[in-house]
Amino acid sequence: MKSPAVAPRTRSRAPALALFCAPIVVLAVAAVALRPIATARTWWVLGVGLVVLLLLIATGPLRRGKTDGSDAAARRVFLRALFATAMLFAACCAWIASQSFDGVLGVWPGIIFVPGWLLFAVLIPLWVDSPVIRTSEPATGWKMLGPLKLLYSNPDDDALWVHLPPQWAGDTLSMMYTPNLGNPWGRAAMTAFVLLLIAMLALVVANAVAT
């Protein structure tokens, strides 16, 4: 007699949501500290920062995931990277709200969180040999444009990121990784990356329009 099937356990979203309040607190502290000298630019930049942080929370902590197996490992890697990036992004927004792009850091606070995301999401897990980073090239699952491999999507592959080989003859230096869009956390990683690119442009516009 077969035992009844047990539904996969899911992890509560409450701890992750509580943790992701920290970058919002950073913006709140900046708003209070800058209030006596605030200009329209201050509120525009902090407003853009708040909207982006809420979207990042919707991308990550609001997702449910299983507590066992590779899905849990992918979720853990993704949420750690997203939290670190959210904290960096909040700090950048606070700096821009205070100093614009005229401070000693120049334009770097408006762009550094994008490579920061790649550092936290891909490079650090790669350096520590995370099981959700596949260093070999998958044989199947690629979405092609002619001879070029554009995207990887394989629901049967547990990897969060996979190695993307050089795309043209003679290229022996490229070392790239792409998210597995067949994995729900891989799709979340791609969404977060695109969102941060849009945030970079939004901060530039908010700073320029309100100046």
Yes or no: say if 178 and 151 are a contact pair by the CB < 8 Å rule: yes
Instruction: Give the SS3 label for residue 144.
Output: strand
Could you tell me the end-to-end alpha-carbon distance of the chain, in angstroms, rounded to an integer? 73
In the predicted model, residues of the chain with pLDDT beneath 70 are 1-13, 64-70, 169-175, 210-211
pLDDT in tens, 141-183: 888 877 778 889 998 888 999 988 777 766 655 568 899 999 9
Query: What pLDDT is stored for residue 47 in this prediction?
Result: 96
| Phi and psi at residue 181, to the nearest 5° | -75, -10
Q: What whole-number distance in Å separates Cα of residue 61 and Cα of residue 86?
A: 12
- pTM confidence score: 0.87
Q: What whole-number distance in Å separates Cα of residue 77 and Cα of residue 7?
A: 23
Number of H helices, E strands in the chain: 7, 5
Instruction: Give the SS3 label for residue 116.
Output: helix
Q: Which residue has the tokens 């329009």?
A: 209
Query: What pLDDT is stored for residue 3 in this prediction?
Result: 42
Yes or no: say if 92 and 204 are a contact pair by the CB < 8 Å rule: no
